[in-house]
Structure 1
Amino acid sequence: MFQKILVVCVGNICRSPTGEYLLKNLLPNKQVDSAGIASEISKLVGKPADSMATTVAAEHGIDLTPHGSRQLTEAMAAEYDLILVMEKGHIDAVCSIAPAARGKTMLFGQWVGQKEIPDPYRQSREAFDFAWSILEESAAAWAKKL
């Protein structure tokens, strides 16, 4: 049913690459990618995952080094069966880029009390650890559902 999953955040350098690689690890038979709703405007396209996000992921056995930030486009959104976002406001942002994606866009934290995952960008190590914990819990919940 859901073979192609896209994980989305703002800049595609902290939360969405972490969520992408967590899901890739848990769902090896599915295609999982990520993108940002504001990667282009933030001049992050092609940039690697944030160094602190990479460090936290590596400490949990997940390698983010292959990642490069991508801008979400309408055509890209159309390719995926399921789009997972970090915050409720991201649903509207995705739909402003790709109106047809409304019905297939859900929270990454959907199955853990519809939790939103706060952006740790340019914050403390603790903020990255907190985001990791919700992403890890949410990815495991999605893996069970899918």
Structure 2
Amino acid sequence: MFERVLIVCIGNICRSPCAQILLEEAIAGSGVKVASAGLAAKVGQPIEASTRSVLLEHRHALPEHRARQLDGAMLQAADLVLTMERRHIEHIHHMAPEARGKTFLLGKWQGELEIVDPYRRDRTAFEQAYRDIEKGVEAWAKRLRP
């Protein structure tokens, strides 16, 4: 049983907070805690404007978010770590080798799908990232609900 899920991307302003919001909604009431962080976080920054807009268009509640830098304590506390790209997994394994057995792609159940970073790209990139995140979240939520 997973109690704490950590979702990781680079800046913690686009993909990981989006996935955090979707996963929290998908497993509400399960008791599982979901957090997010970035490998090179834009510490203190809110959710990026285009990500915010896409989430609002899909009628998601937007809790207060401030980007956080990933650290070893976060990795140690998490029961499951979900990333957007394979290189994120490699970075985490280098940072905390003990996280090997609990770190996976969010897109694991979609053929090891990597979710492309939409940062500084056009609106369609954010919409595509949202769709890919949504699919990954749906698949993981089935495995996380008691």
Same fold, TM-score > 0.5, yes or no: yes
Q: Does 1:13 align with 2:31?
A: no
Tell me, what secondary structure is at the counterpart of 1:67? coil
1:6 and 1:83 in contact (8 A); partners too: yes
Partner residue, 2:48 = 50
Distance 1:71 1:64 in 2: 20
In structure 2, the gaps of 5 or more residues are none
Q: 1:32 aligns with which of 27, 31, 34?
A: 34
1:65, CA displacement in angstroms? 4.6
Note if contact 1:48-1:67 (Cα within 8 Å) is conserved in structure 2: yes
Counterpart of 1:85 (choices 83, 86, 94) is: 83
Secondary structure of the corresponding residue to residue 84 of structure 1: strand
Please give the TM-score of this superposition, normalised by the length of structure 1: 0.94
Once residues 63 and 51 of structure 2 are traced to their aligned partners in structure 1, the CA distance between those partners, rounded to angstroms, is 10
How far, CA to CA, are the matches of 2:40 and 2:78 in structure 1? 19
Secondary structure at 1:142 match in 2: helix
Residue type of the alignment partner of 2:33: Q
> How much identity, in percent, do the aligned residues show?
46
User: Is 1:54–1:65's contact at 8 Å kept on the other side of the alignment?
Assistant: no
Structure 1 residues 29-82: Cα deviation after superposition (integer angstroms, max 9, x where no partner): 21000000111xxxx111101010000011111233511100000011100100
After TM superposition, the score normalised by the length of structure 2 is 0.94
Identify the residue that residue 23 of structure 2 maps to in structure 1: 23
Rounded to whole Å, the distance in 1 between the matches of 2:72 and 2:114 is: 23
- 2:14 is matched by which residue type in structure 1? C
Count of residue pairs the alignment pairs up: 142
Structure 1, 20-29 or 64-73: larger mean CA deviation: 64-73
Q: d(CA) in 2 for partners of 1:6 and 1:82? A: 6
Name the aligned partner's letter for residue 97 of structure 1: M
SS in 2 for 1:111: helix
